[in-house]
Structure formats: C-alpha cells, structure tokens
Structure 1
Amino acid sequence: MSDLYKSMQVSASGMKAQGTRLRIISENIANVDSLSQEPGGAPYRRKMVSFGAELSKELGVEKVVVKDVLSDKSDFKREYLPGHPAADEDGYILRPNVNTLVEMTDMREAQRSFEANMQAIQASKSMLQRTLEILQ
C-alpha cells in the first residue's frame, strides 16, 4: 500500500509542477503585447520553467519540482512605429519575444502532462480502494 501512496505523491508533485508551468505560459500570453513606455526600453521578456527532481527523504522517492523560472534570452522583435512613446531615435520599438503559437503548443503539452498525472493518481486511488475492500 505504501507504494501506491508513493506513486500518488510523485504524480501530485508532477501536477503541481505543470500547474506552475501553465501559470507561466498564461503570463506569457497575457503579455504578448506589453511594450515599454520609455524610449528604447525593453518590453516584457518571455519566461520558461525549468524542472528538476528532488529526493523526498520521508517517502524515499524523487518528486518533480520547479527548479527555476528563467527568462528567455532570445532577441526581441523590432517594429517601425515612430509615434510610439517607446520608439528609439530611429522610430523602432521592441516587441516581446513571445510567440503565441509556441505558447499554445507548450500549454497543450502541459495540460496533457497534468492530465496524465491526474489519471495516475486516480488509478492508484482505485487500486488502494480495492485493496481495502479485499482486506475487509
């Protein structure tokens, strides 16, 4: 029975990590048009989640954790918009390095991973319930 509990804990940690990833992806999408308000200023920079494994001493298993939230160092997009307050001396503004198509793909992947972990928890719970029924 303790192995079922451990598997549920590992899956729950995966769900928590993917939930954080979904929150960061949502933040990226929400800021796809966030521009600087000062000339030559930097706009919103895309964020990414880095995962890692952490040993749970009490359970004796490795759990999934969010290791870090990183900034994407890729270049900003330049657009000629001379009347904008963020335009540089040449009339260009910098747009966020967020690609909505990439974010939506990442979101779908995170959702599927979240759902897979949830199904693993449900399967473990069902096996645990059946074990308890047999023991009665």
Structure 2
Amino acid sequence: MLNNAFRAMRISASGLAAERMRMDLISSNIANYNSIKTENTEAYKRKIAVFEQYLDRNEKGMSKFKGVKVSKIIEDNTPSKMVYDPNHPNANGEGFVETSNVNILNEMADMIMATRAYESNADNFNANKQMFMKALEIGK
C-alpha cells in the first residue's frame, strides 16, 4: 500500500517534469519569434514536446503505468512566414523576408494549458503529501 502512495507521487513528479520541459520549449519558441533566415542560418522552426506514457513491464507481460515523459522534441513543419520588406538586407529577389513559423497566439494558449497541467500535478503531489502527514499524525 505504501508503495502505491509513493507511486502516485512519482507519477505527479513525472508530469511536473514533462510540463516543465514543455514550458521551456514554449518559452524558447516565443523568444525566437522574430528570427529570420539569413545567408548563414535558417529561420527558427517551432519546437514541440511529444509526451509518451512511461510503463514498467513485469515478467508476466503486465504493464504498470509509472508516469509520463518527453519522448522526443520535434520541429513543427508548418511553412515559415514570408513578410514583404524589399528594403531588408535579407529579403529574397521578390522582396520577401522568411521569418519563423511561431504563432504567438498558439504559444500563449499552449503556455496556459501547460501551466494548468503543471498546477494540477503540483496540487496532486501536495494532496498526497498531506495524506502522508495526516497518517503520521494518526500514528502518534
């Protein structure tokens, strides 16, 4: 039984770590919103965290859920934005500058979802901790 209680805390902790990684990527996306393609570099491509369930398989082939993890980070393949600015030094022959494919509104919505998921995992972790504290008080 005690192992199951700690398991719930480990699952919440894995969610906290995964959502933290997601928020870090969103922050990086927002920070690189204004990047452009130059002669030496490509325009920034939005990064996305891909979550995967973390399972522990026993010798009988049964799986036990142990949490969530970031399995990989992928680049968003949506096309870059083309901004008409013929006076810009990095404009192409038609006068367009290639900028990042980051959409600030989408990033803000993703940040709100990640923040709420992080808070939910933190609340769950704290509730488990309070249950442990009450159980210790009963034992006195």
Q: Does the alignment pair 1:121 with 2:125?
A: yes
Offset at residue 56 of structure 1 (A):
4.5
User: Which residue pairs with 1:36 in the alignment?
Assistant: 37
> Secondary structure of the equivalent of 1:86?
coil
Q: What is the CA deviation profile of residues 52-86 of structure 1, one whole-angstrom value per residue up to 9, with x for unaligned ones?
A: 0112479x532110011110000111111122232
- For the 8 Å contact 1:6–1:61, the answer to whether it is kept is no
2:33 & 2:57 partners in 1: Cα distance?
A: 41
How many corresponding residue pairs? Answer: 134
Deviating above 6 A after TM superposition, structure 1's stretches of 4 or more consecutive aligned residues are none
> Secondary structure of the equivalent of 1:97?
coil
Q: Which amino acid aligns with 1:131?
A: A
Q: Which amino acid aligns with 1:53?
A: Q
> Secondary structure of the equivalent of 2:51?
strand
2:29 & 2:106 partners in 1: Cα distance?
A: 10
- For the 8 Å contact 2:80–2:98, the answer to whether it is kept is yes
Q: Does the alignment pair 1:66 with 2:70?
A: yes
User: Mean Cα displacement is larger for which, 81-90 or 24-33?
Assistant: 81-90
Matches within 5 A, 1:83-102: 83-102=87-106
Provide TM-score, normalisation by structure 1: 0.91
Provide TM-score, normalisation by structure 2: 0.88
Q: Which runs of 5+ in 2 are unaligned?
A: 59-63
Aligned-residue CA RMSD (Å): 1.8
User: Mean Cα displacement is larger for which, 91-100 or 7-16?
Assistant: 91-100
Identity of aligned residues (%): 36
Q: Which runs of 5+ in 1 are unaligned?
A: none
Offset at residue 14 of structure 1 (A):
0.1
Q: In the alignment, which of 58, 80, 84 is matched to residue 84 of structure 2?
A: 80
User: Which residue pairs with 1:22 in the alignment?
Assistant: 23
